[in-house]
Amino acid sequence: MNVQYRRISGEEVEFSMTTRAHLDEMIARTAMGSRADFEKLYKATSAKLFGVCIRILNNESEAEEVLQEVYVKVWRSADKYASGNASPISWLAAIARNTSIDRYRRRKPEAADIDEAEVIADDAPSPEASAVLSNEVDRLNGCMSQLKDRHADAVRNVYLGGWTYEEAAQKLDVPLNTVKTWIRRSLISLRECMNQ
């Protein structure tokens, strides 16, 4: 285990670079009541989870309180973690995220005349925006259908599937420069098609 230190709230906290197997083991032992493993789990993951909390709450002291709630939940529910379903850090981050969102929603509006609906904006598009978006998606799909199949696959997987150019080259079994050329030319074609 590689140990580093990070500063949280003016205090240096040990941060361990742990593998998934180490985290799985620490959670399993925490589920059995091991305080030592719970402490190791805290030291290994608290910096990351604090980052999740602070990003949502944008308030350091509130994020520290929520982080404490997160680890209480972890202590109580470690036995519910199933190592085959999600990575341990994803499971922990989901607890931190959900706890932070719950805290955010419980905040009182700053002014009495502002209701909660105004404080938490609805991210859903309006019906008009949905109709426009649907039309754009249909147009884009039409333009994508005009590309060669392998070129369209490369574009979809790099821009929607999260592949790197290197992964696309390996998985499509073509040289890296070929994939880059396919994608560049395909994007030019798509732009021209969408502008018609």
Give the pLDDT confidence score for residue 109 in this predicted structure.
60
Concatenate the DSSP letters of all residues of 24-69 into one string.
HHHHHHHHTT-HHHHHHHHHHHHHHHHHHHHHHH--HHHHHHHHHH
Instruction: For the chain of 196 residues, list the mean pLDDT of each consecutive stretch of 10.
Output: 46 56 88 91 91 90 93 90 77 90 79 48 59 72 89 85 86 92 89 84
Alpha helices (runs of H) in the chain, residue ranges in sequence order: 20-31, 35-57, 60-77, 88-106, 116-119, 127-145, 149-159, 165-172, 176-195
- Euclidean distance between CA atoms 171 and 194, whole angstroms: 28
Q: Given this model, what pLDDT does residue 43 score?
A: 92
Residues 196 and 141: their CA atoms lie apart, in Å, by 14
> Looking at beta carbons, which pairs linking 22-29 to residues 24 or more positions away fall under 8 Å?
23/87, 23/88, 23/89, 24/83, 24/88, 26/88, 27/74, 27/78, 27/81, 27/83, 27/88, 27/91, 28/78, 28/81, 28/83
Cα angle: 73, vertex 23, 14; to 5 degrees? 85
Q: What is the pLDDT of residue 162?
A: 79
- Is the separation of the CB atoms in 129 and 123 below 8 Å? no
Please tell me the predicted confidence (pLDDT) of residue 20: 81
Structural domains in the chain, sorted by start: 2-106 (1.10.1740.10), 127-195 (1.10.10.10)
pLDDT at 125: 60
Structure tokens at 4: 């580093």
Give the per-residue pLDDT at 175.
Answer: 93
